[in-house]
Every structure is written in structure tokens, then in C-alpha cells.
Structure 1
Amino acid sequence: MSKSIMVLGTASSVGKSTIATAFCRYFKNKGMKVAPFKALNISLNSFVTEDGLEMGRAQVVQAEACEIKPRAWMNPVLLKPSGNMKTQVIVNGKVKCNIDSYKYKELNKELKEVVKETYDEISKDYNLVVLEGSGSCAEINLKESDIANMYMAKASNSPVILVADIDRGGVFASVVGTIALLDSEERERVKGIIINKFRGSIESFKPAMKQLEEIINIPVLGTMPYYDLDIEDEDSVTEIINNKNKEKNGLDVVVIRLPYMSNFTDFNSLSRLDEINLRYVDNEKEIGNPNLLIIPGSKNTIEDLKFLKKRGIYSKIVELEKINTVILGICGGYQILGESIEDELGIEGDVRSEKGFGFLPIKTVFNKEKVTKQSRGEVVSKKIKEFFNIEVSGYEIHNGKTFISNEENIFIRLNNNEVAGAINNKGNVLGTYLHGIFDENDFLTCFINYLLNNNHMYKTNSKIISYKEYKLNELDKLARLLEENIDMKKVEEILKK
């Protein structure tokens, strides 16, 4: 019979995703068949499975920790805010509808049934399912429509571990307040507390932990230290894009922080490298003179293109292109680098057409069908000789069909003969539909060495560890941290009850 455990939080960004990931890796290393589950995600950061279904990135990381393939059932409901008070609703990997954000409650009953049925169907195939909540589990104004938190804990009959963040302050009040706002049945489900992001002396903190236990009558399982591990975490999005990563010397890479930016995880494989200093900027003055400028994916491409023009970033990028700065666009960023974006059907909003940069000889026309698939291909352009014939892979999540006017400007051709990228005649502006293109070592190494050579820097002689191996190493470190700092024997006892 399968077991389950649920990780809930006192607030958003307390580290629920990372703790759930740590549980997944810990129990996987114990020899258990483990799977993650998050009933509902609200995120623009998504992934496409090998069967072409869309899901939240947090459960992809947790699936990697379990060493199983990501599947859409791990995140049966994904809400993607798309601007203009609209939200795209994705159910079991497929777009169900686009709704006015305030009408979400009308779908609530149906979505609750979906997540319950999905969980019941898959849970029997695993020894343990690690469930993750969303935001705070004690939002009394949202309790009636709650899907991801206590509703799912009850539906799965899971014991709950409550995570609180001491780094933001007020940790005792947040724990006590959360417990106080739960009803008696919900309080009974909470079997332990984890204090996350702890700095300082644990010995000095133990009396306070004991006092907290006496107030709430629930054991404090320990404190997770404020660690410097590279674990992709939905709750840490703000920290990443606010440039709280360590500055490094080497290549200066700027990612434009778009209002509707999606899939920033495309650049995690870059940020781990010593040769790269990755910065996110949202105004013209901070751009400077980078070695590489990236326009990322977007959930509302036209609105983000208008944002670039309004903030003066558009003009700055035009100046950089004139001095041959390398510019890369991914997905929505790829569309923005073209001549125009047409939206006659109003897929993204009221604006029907917007002129792009015109760096690439492409035009994009939005249509009703959303493309979600994994793709493989190769670089067919000889404009940058280092890239020619390099195999590439990734996943596509986009609306619209892009037409290229000159075959000589094709950068990437897929194995099914579709075009998935373009390059300008000078070879300094590139675009592709492939998310995750830097996760493949051959393309990553080639790209880094091209940039180093382009800026008269020494090429890297050290072999870049594969991103997959790198991530597994980080996950094992996380599992060890969990075991060293949290009473996992107590957690295992909780699972046996």
C-alpha cells in the first residue's frame, strides 16, 4: 500500500518546493519508489513532457530527484497568468480554457474532482508520494476554493509537515498563527514543523524550538540551514531574478526581465558556470555592454515587446546590435527579434499587430493551436562555423507559426524538417523556439567557447560536467543536508502511522 506525506507552508517562498524535493531524493536514496505531486501550480515556468503535455517546473525537479520521467499528472492543474486579467487553465497537460482571472471559482468544483481522480489513479503505483502545497495553507479567504493545500491533504489522507522561513523574520508568529487558523481536523494532520533558511547557532536556538513545541503541541523536526546549493525552486524565483546570485568575473550575460517572462530556468545551466556572470535587468541603464544579451520566453509576447519600447530597452538593444553584440532570443524572444508579430485572432489581447526588431527575416502569426512538444535537430547554419552540425534538443511551448523568408538564415532545423531557429546575416543575432537548449553539453560548450573566442578570452579547457550529472550531485547534497539537520527518523515514524 502506498504512503504519502505533504509539505505545506506558512507563506509563499518559504522553501516548500526545495523541502519536498529533499524528501523525494532522501526516500529515493533509501530505495523507495517515489513520485511528486502538486495539485495546482500558478506559474509561467513550465515544461513539456515527452508525450507533449505541459506541467510546472517544480515537479520536474522533484521527478529528477526521484529519477523518474516527468509526467503531467504530477501537476494536474497549471494556471498561467497571461495579462489583461486573463489566465490560461491547463488540466492534465492540455489547455482547457482561457478565463477571466476572477472567474476561476466557477471551475473550482470540477478541478477538485480532477486532482482527486488523478491522485487516486497514480498513487497506487508508488511506495511514497510526496505532495506539495501552494502559498500559505491558512488563507481563510481562499479556504473554500483551496485545491493545493488542506483539501489535497484530506483527499490523499496525508500527514502534513509545515515549513516556515526564519530568514524573513516572525517565524514563531507565522507558525502559531498558521496553526491557529486551521480547523481541528486540519491541525491534527500537522505532524511536524521544519524551520527553513536558518543562520546561526542551532544550540542557541534549541530553547526557542522547545518553547514553540509547547505552545503548538507539535514537534519541531529541526532547522534546515541557509544553504548555497543550486536547486531549482519555484519559491526562489524572486531571489534569482533579483540577481542575488554571486557575481563572477568572465562573460557578462544579460537576460531581459520581461513582465511576462516565462521559463527563466532556460539559463540555469549557464549561471552555474564559472565563466558566466548572469544578470537579469528590466531597464535600459542596467544593460551596459554585455557579451551576450538574451530576450527570454514570454507568456504575452506583444505586451512584452511594447514594454521593451516603452522602457527604452528596445533602442538600447538596437545600439548593441550595431556594434555586433551577440543577441539571443528564445521562444517569445525569438518572435520579438523578427519583423512582426500578427495576432488577428486576439489570442494574447486587443493588439492585433506589433513591429519587432527586424534583426531576423521572420514573421510570426498567432493561431488557436498551442505547440507543446519535445524536439531534436541540429544547427544547419555555417554563419558561425563552430555551431555547424551540432545536435540540439529541447522543448517547445508557444503559440504562433513563424515563417522565414530566406533559407540561408535558418539556424536550427528539426529532425522532422521543421525550422526551429534563425540567424541574421552577420551571425550575431540568433533565435530559437527550443527551451532548455543549453542543457545539452555539446551545444553549451560550443556556445561558451564561441563567446570566449568572440571576446578574446581564453577558451575553457576543463570539461563541463553534464547538466544532468550536476543536478543529481546537487540533489544528493540536499538530501544529506536534510538528513543531517532534520529528524528523519521521526519523519519515517510519521509515515508508518
Structure 2
Amino acid sequence: MNALMVVGTTSHAGKSLIAAVLCRLLARRGLRVTPFKGQNMALNAYVTASGGEMGYAQAVQAWAAGIEPETLMNPILLKPQGDMTSQVIFNGQAVGCTQAADYYRDYFEPGWATIQRSLELLGERFDWVVCEGAGSPAEINLKHRDLTNMRLARHLQATTLLVADIDRGGVFAHIVGTLELLEPEERALIKGIVINKFRGQRSLLESGITWLEERTGIPVLGVIPWLEIQLPAEDSLDLFDRRPRSQRADLTIAVIRLRRIANFTDFDPLAAEPTVNLHYLYPHETLGAVDAVIIPGTKTTIPDLLELQTSGMAAQLQAYGAAGGTIMGICGGMQLLGTQICDRQGLEGQPGTYAGLGLLPLETTITATKLTRQRQGIAQAPIPGQPIQGYEIHQGQTQYHFNEDFCPLFVEEHLGIVNSRQTLWGSYLHGLFENGTWRRQWLNHLRQKRNLPPLTCDIQDYEYQRLAHLDGITDAIAPHLNLDRLLENCVCP
């Protein structure tokens, strides 16, 4: 395979964005291209058709390349769960938990072997690989055990782009400092620089670009303007850049920003709805006047439950639900809304049984076995008979106590629950809101409570909106990125 590598001067410089755009541009040229990130640390995950778990960012890049996501594209996924520990996922399957100090002792060698084998298998089917680094490639205290940046670039002899975020300031120092800290053979692979998130007039930057090119001998191949449109976020730090709609929206929906929030990409379809103002609230904040509250997934349900209780948010949610407010819990969020959560083995801390928020008649037991699979089903609310699809990622077994007021949300009883007034909802399905017709039906139920006219439900699922979104981002960036000059450094097959 020809290999392109995207590294950044800092975290959140725009590596995932540039990698996705490169995948899209190469695919438009009719090339067989795959994304790759050897090791990712993220709580936003996707489940492949084979039931493997991978970073959501690499799934998005696969869709940008016009192919289906598979775990070979992200062979190592680390999911932080607090107390300096992470769950380790190799080739889509959880293999254990480890502390940071022990990870490289126990997993470095098998991790590097897994990365190399994944690249070999991808190379049998693709002509190009677009690799994404992690953080900075110049962390001198970590370089000797770095599985994701220049070790990979050197292994592939990849044509490498260095991306820097000018919006945070100090862009020239970041670029020069990064290059200075690379080994000569690593620096030789850097064939271009991209300055990202530029808000000003390009003419005012030219003198700096000229100096930078003369100082480093590396061309600046792109100055990417600040874009309001965004890719799905890699981790919760990206939520700092998310702002509520400035214009007036019909509905306001709050998502509780749990400390270990996971898979908040579930709510991108809601954020894309022009009539919805979606915003994230910390547990210590006040709910205020909202039309619905969503409790998202979490990597560690019990610690987040305890924080909801100590912060006062649990009491707010209970009062809001008792008053007829609409609350939706997804995965761990549904578990939080139940009557109790039992962790006999202490998988999330101290063994014990903990009282939930008591809004849904269900009990969850945390288990060592992790369930990851894609699912299809039939919803029974808001309107019966609507086909849906999504995916499960959870380490809990839930027992539902259906009665005259609570019934299964889906024909498949173990996937969720809803009350008769359709104000209290719980579902194990990630990606639920990507089902366009179901999403609009759910929003129309909220609109009916406000005496607002219904939205049309004859719309495509979010996957088509996502592809259009990727095309829009690619079209916005392509004129500012000299792809042909970058590809001159690659030997075409």
C-alpha cells in the first residue's frame, strides 16, 4: 500500500478531520483506500457487522472512503474508566483492564504485532492507507513506547503531514518545536505542513508561511479555514467547542454530560435537526426549561450514578420525571434510571448494590462479559411497527419489570422500555436516533406536548446525512489543500 500519515502538533489539531478528508478525496479518484489508527483512546465506539468494537472516528473515516468499518482499521482501542485504568480492546474484543503504568509492559509487544498484522491484511485489499496519529509525535518521554505516530510512519515509510491548530495560538512554535524534537529519519518523512482552523485574512499569514518554509524546508500544503461544520467528536474534550444554536429552535433537549460520557455521537442526528437546540449540561448545573433530557452512555455507570446523586442532578431528574417531563436513557443512561445497579465483583470500584434514580422499573447487574453486536428490531413507540437498527455495547444484564404502566420499547423485549405516557424511555441501542423516521416520530411526540405542528417523517436515515456532511466538509477543505503536491511524494501502484 501507499501510505499517508497525519500527525499533529497537539491533541485536537484536526488529525481526524484531515484523515477523513484525505480518505474522501482519494476515494473520489477511484482509489481503494482504507483508514487506519493503530491505537486509539476514546469512549466513542462503533460496533462492526462482525460484532467487533472500534473507535468511532475510524468508522467515520471508513464511511468517507466508501467502505464498511472493520476492526483492522483500529486494532487497539483503549477505553478510559477512571483511576488511571483503561479497558483494553484488541481486534474488536475486550482482553482486560490495565493501569497506565502496566499497559506498555503487558501490551506493547503484542500490540505492535497486532498493528503490523492488521496492516498486512489491509494491504491485501487496498492500494492506499491513510493513517492517523494520536496526540503529538514529539512527546519525548513517551516516544520509545509510542505505537501510533512515527513508529508507524517509519514502518510504512509513509508520506507524512504535520497538522497544527492556529486558533489556540503559538502555531509556528508548535510546528518548529515538534520538528526539532523528531529524529532525523522521522523528520525526513514530514513532506507537508497543514495549518488548521484559520480565521483571519490569508495575506496576513503569508510572511509567516514564507519564514516557516525557509526555516524548516517543508512546504505548507494547506491553510484550512475555520469551519462551523464538524466531524463527530473523538472524545468529550471536543464538547467544549459545541455551542447551542444561536437561532431560536422549537425544542430544547439537554444531554447530561457525565464524567465518563461515552458514545455521545448518538446525539449528532439530533444536533443536525434544525428545529432542535441540543446542549450539554454538567451534573452540577440546573436543568432549566427543557423539552427533554437525555442520560447518555457511560463507561462506568456506578461512579457516574454517585456523582449525579451528590451533585443534586439526581433529585432534579426525579422531580422533572415526576412532573411529566420526558427523560430518555441510552445504554448506561438507562441503567442509571433503574431502581438498582449491582456490582458483585467490584468491576467498577467497591463491590455492592446501589440505588438508581428509580424512574424505570428495572435492575442491572454489572458483568465481566461485554456484549457488542449490531441489532435490528421493531419499535412499539412512539408509533408501533417502525423498523430500527443500532448496536449494543454494554457490560450489564438488565431485568425489566413490565407492568400496566411500562411496556417493552421494542418487540425485542431486552432492548428497552417505555411508560404508557411516553415520557420515560430507556434503550440499549446506540445509534437509535440515526433512524430518521423513528427520530422524527419521537420529536413529534415532544412537539405535540407543545402544540407545535408535526415534522414530516418521510426522511432518510442519518447515514445519508452523514455522507452528505462528509462531502460538504471535503468540498470546503479541498480548495485549501494541495493534495497533488502531497501525492508527488508517493509511488503509485
Do these two structures clear the TM 0.5 threshold for a shared fold by scoring above it? yes
Q: Distance in 1 between matches of 2:257 and 2:177?
A: 35
Greater CA deviation, 175-184 or 344-353?
344-353
Whole-Å separation in 2 of the counterparts to 1:127 and 1:243: 36
1:85 is the counterpart of 2:96? no
Distance 2:49 2:461 in 1: 20
Alignment of 1:481-492 (within 5 A): 481-492=476-487
The AA in structure 2 aligned to 1:215 is: R
Aligned residue in 2 for 1:70: 69
2:253/2:292 contact within 8 Å kept: yes
> In 1, Cα distance between the equivalents of 2:225 and 2:45?
28
CA distance in 2, matches of 1:241, 1:272: 18
Letter in 2 for 1:446: Q
Query: Which string of whole-angstrom CA distances, capped at 9 and with x for unpartnered residues, describes residues 128-185 of structure 1?
Result: 1100000011000001110000011112221110000000000000000000000100
Contact 1:359 1:424 (8 Å CA) reproduced: no
Q: 2:449 aligns with which of 451, 454, 475?
A: 454
Selected match of 1:478 from 457, 460, 473: 473
For residues 186-245 of structure 1, what are the alpha-carbon distances to aligned partners after superposition, in whole Å with 9 as ceiling and x for unaligned?
01010000000111211221221111000011111020110122422427x434356424
Q: What letter corresponds to residue 44 of structure 2 in structure 1? A: N
1:403 paired residue number: 399
CA shift, 1:461, in A, is 4.1
- Identify which of 398, 407, 410 aligns with 1:413: 410
Are the structure 2 counterparts of residues 54 and 461 from structure 1 closer, same or farther at C-alpha, using a change threshold of 3 Å?
closer
CA contact (8 A) 1:15 1:233 kept: no
* Structure-1 separation of matches of 2:262 and 2:62: 20
Instruction: Output the CA distance in 1 between the equivalents of 2:296 and 2:154.
Output: 39
Contact (CA 8 Å) 1:84, 1:349: kept in 2 or not? no
Map 1:173-212 → 2, pairs under 5 A: 173-212=173-212
Q: Which residue of 2 aligns with 1:391?
A: 387
Deviation per CA, 1:87-140: give whole Å up to 9, x if none: 100001001111122211212122111111211221231121100000011000
Contact 1:231 1:471 in 2 (8 A): no
285 and 413 in structure 1: CA distance in 2 versus 1, 3 angstrom threshold: closer
Q: Is the 8 A contact 2:258 2:283 kept in 1?
A: no
Q: Name the CA distance, whole Å, in 1 between partners of 2:276 and 2:246.
A: 9
Q: Shift in Å at residue 465 of structure 1?
A: 4.8
Q: Pick one of 429, 436, 439 that aligns with 1:434.
A: 429
Segments of 5+ residues of structure 1 without an aligned counterpart are none
Describe the SS at the equivalent of 1:240.
helix
The alpha carbon displacement at 1:407 in A equals 5.7
RMSD over aligned Cα, in angstroms? 1.6
Q: Where does residue 307 of structure 2 map in the other structure?
A: 307
In 1: Cα distance, 2:280 partner to 2:159 partner: 39
Between 178-187 and 194-203, report the one with greater CA deviation: 194-203
Q: 1:462 to 1:99 in 2, by over 3 A?
A: closer
**Residue 48 of structure 1: CA displacement?**
0.6
State the 1:17 CA deviation.
0.1
- For the 8 Å contact 2:88–2:96, the answer to whether it is kept is yes
Q: What displacement does 1:464 show?
A: 4.2
Aligned pairs for 1:154-165 within 5 A: 154-165=154-165
Output the amino acid matched with 1:491: L
Q: What CA distance in whole angstroms lies between the structure 2 residues aligned with 1:153 and 1:65?
A: 22
Q: Secondary structure at the match of 1:36?
A: strand
Q: Give the corresponding residue for 1:59.
A: 58
Q: What is the Cα deviation at residue 418 of structure 1?
A: 4.7
Q: What is the CA-CA distance between 1:323 and the residue it aligns to?
A: 1.3
1:137-156 alignment, distance < 5 Å: 137-156=137-156
Number of corresponding residues: 489
Q: Which secondary structure does the structure 2 equivalent of 1:479 belong to?
A: helix
Segment of structure 1 superposing worse, 458-467 or 165-174: 458-467
| Structure 2 Cα separation of the partners of residues 48 and 312 of structure 1 | 34
C-alpha distance in structure 1 between counterparts of 2:143 and 2:423, whole Å: 52
Partner-residue secondary structure (3-state), 1:13: coil
2:17 match: 18
Seen in structure 2, the aligned counterparts of structure 1 residues 463 and 224 have a Cα distance that, compared at 3 Å, is: farther
| Identity among equivalent pairs (%) | 37
Distance in 2 between the 1:445 and 1:370 partners? 31
- Asked if the contact 1:242/1:280 (under 8 Å) is kept, the reply is no
